[in-house]
């Protein structure tokens, strides 16, 4: 596991700390709407703060209030040095805020047991990989689940699609629901926290990928390896790799880096596809349309695509957001074949792709109508298109 540096509680005072070293930054929201955002500060801007600072004791303080903000240091490449510092803040329309990053022994907010991000491999349920924040949870399926299917044994799942776990509480549920499974219970019934009614099967679920060619979708099987990069209060990050798969005579190597931030309905997907024997025509992300009972809506100029459907006694919205310039086309594909009716977002040929996929369940209470879901995706796309402007004072 890569070393993860998470700054979340009172740091032990270390005599060699360069107490008082600081940087001042101004952050501006250029949108005419309010937003809550995860701010990312590059590791290259932290060099002076981390020098002679073995504990990584960097405090983020909002200058107007003097309030210390929960932050997280992340080592993305596993070399032992932080690559970014992240924290979350609220910005009103067109607002500027000033923050100070400083080396300090001051106490910072503790991680809330109620609201945090989390991910892990789940060997007790074969080998799922599951992740969550305070709003949504997801899972996907590993090599043991595939082996059981390949050998015609019970309990397996063959899919590289993404499953949605519908939670309506802000605290973590992954460990609780899997324990319920181990103890002989089920997470397919809602006992007040939510449940898993979402069917993936051979579909892409919510955000799985493939390559669309000659009216067919070519896909990988289950992931083969999983590696956690960060498991912090603000962001969890992990990496999945897949066995080589084929698009006709082209061999494909696939790796996904997936993350989810606190408060977001969507996970971020960074997909790398390497090909041997030819050039791939696209990368296609999909949303299952289940029994074709739902409603599709798209906004191609903004880069968002969604499905809103009935699910048991409630409703569910699923969606994908991508950079409009990366999108080649989209396809509302309907078929009588089981699990294969899907909304496809077809992205232009490349070797790396970034998109965001997730859901909103009506019973969770935050987003309760298709119009609400459209508005959420629309604002999400606008925030991606207009990132916060960060200026360091000299």
pLDDT tens digits for the chain (394 residues)? 443 443 333 333 333 445 678 999 999 999 999 999 999 999 999 998 988 776 677 999 999 999 999 999 999 999 988 999 999 999 999 999 999 999 887 778 887 878 899 999 999 999 999 999 999 999 999 999 999 999 999 999 999 999 999 999 999 999 999 999 999 999 999 999 999 999 999 999 999 999 999 999 999 999 999 999 999 999 999 999 999 999 999 999 999 999 999 999 999 999 999 999 999 999 999 999 998 889 999 999 999 999 999 999 999 999 999 999 999 999 999 999 999 999 999 999 999 999 999 999 999 999 999 999 999 999 999 999 999 999 999 7
d(CA 245, CA 266): 27
**Pair (136, 95) in one structural domain:** no
Contact between residue 210 and residue 339 where contact means Cβ atoms under 8 Å apart: no
d(CA 180, CA 186): 6
**Pair (143, 47) in one structural domain:** no
Q: 3-state DSSP call for residue 181? A: helix
Query: Helical H runs in the chain?
Result: 47-50, 143-150, 174-182, 370-385
Evaluate whether residue 12 is within a structural domain: no
Cβ contacts of residue 293 below 8 Å, gap of 6+? 309, 310
Residue in this structure with the two tokens 């069917």, named with its chain if needed: 199
**Pair (147, 103) in one structural domain:** no
**Pair (145, 221) in one structural domain:** yes
Evaluate whether residue 327 is within a structural domain: yes
Contact between residue 39 and residue 26 where contact means Cβ atoms under 8 Å apart: no
Total domains, the chain = 2
For residue 320, the surrounding DSSP H or E stretch is strand 314-322
pTM score, whole prediction? 0.93
Q: Of 80, 109, 138, at which residue does a domain stop?
A: 109
Please, which residues bridge with residue 42 across strands?
A: 84
| Closest residue by Cα to residue 105 from 47, 19, 16, 23 | 19
Evaluate whether residue 345 is within a structural domain: yes
Q: Which domain holds residue 366?
A: 118-385
**Pair (128, 206) in one structural domain:** yes
Evaluate whether residue 223 is within a structural domain: yes
Evaluate whether residue 8 is within a structural domain: no
CB atoms within 10 A of CB 162: 30
d(CA 306, CA 318): 6
**Pair (78, 133) in one structural domain:** no
**Pair (89, 136) in one structural domain:** no
Q: Of 87, 109, 131, at which residue does a domain stop?
A: 109
Please, which residues bridge with residue 327 across strands?
A: 347
Please, which residues bridge with residue 56 across strands?
A: none
**Pair (41, 96) in one structural domain:** yes
């Amino acid at each position: 596991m890569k070393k993860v540096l998470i700054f979340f509680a009172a740091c032990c005072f270390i005599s060699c700390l360069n107490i008082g070293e600081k940087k001042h930054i101004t952050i501006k929201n250029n949108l005419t709407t309010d937003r809550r955002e995860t701010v990312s500060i590059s590791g290259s801007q932290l060099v002076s703060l981390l020098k002679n600072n073995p504990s990584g004791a960097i405090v983020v303080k909002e200058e107007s209030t003097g309030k210390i903000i929960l932050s997280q240091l992340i080592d993305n490449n596993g070399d032992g040095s932080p690559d970014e510092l992240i924290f979350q803040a609220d910005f009103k329309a067109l607002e500027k805020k000033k923050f100070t990053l400083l080396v300090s022994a001051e106490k910072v907010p503790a991680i809330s047991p109620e609201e945090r991000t989390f991910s892990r491999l789940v060997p007790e349920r074969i080998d799922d990989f599951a992740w969550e924040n305070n709003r949504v949870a997801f899972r996907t399926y590993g090599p043991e689940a595939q082996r059981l299917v390949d050998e015609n044994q019970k309990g397996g799942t063959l899919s590289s699609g993404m499953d949605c776990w519908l939670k309506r509480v802000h605290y973590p549920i992954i460990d609780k629901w899997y324990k319920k499974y181990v103890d002989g219970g089920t997470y397919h019934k809602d006992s007040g926290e939510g449940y898993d009614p979402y069917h993936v099967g051979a579909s892409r679920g919510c955000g799985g990928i493939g390559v669309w060619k000659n009216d067919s979708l070519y896909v990988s099987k289950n992931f083969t390896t999983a590696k956690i990069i960060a498991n912090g209060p603000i962001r969890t990050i992990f990496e999945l790799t897949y066995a080589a798969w084929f698009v006709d005579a082209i061999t494909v190597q696939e790796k996904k880096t997936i993350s989810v931030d606190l408060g977001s309905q969507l996970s971020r997907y960074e997909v790398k596809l390497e090909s041997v024997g030819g050039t791939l025509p696209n990368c296609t992300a999909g949303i299952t349309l289940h029994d074709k009972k739902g409603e599709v809506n798209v906004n191609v100029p903004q880069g968002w695509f969604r499905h809103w459907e009935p699910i048991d006694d409630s409703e569910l919205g699923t969606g994908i957001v991508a950079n409009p310039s990366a999108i080649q086309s989209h396809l509302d594909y309907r078929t009588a074949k089981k699990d294969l009716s899907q909304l496809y977002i077809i992205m232009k040929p490349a070797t790396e792709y970034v998109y965001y996929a997730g859901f909103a369940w009506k019973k969770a209470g935050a987003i309760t109508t298709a119009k609400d879901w459209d508005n959420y995706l629309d604002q999400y796309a606008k925030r991606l298109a207009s990132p916060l402007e960060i200026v360091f004072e000299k």
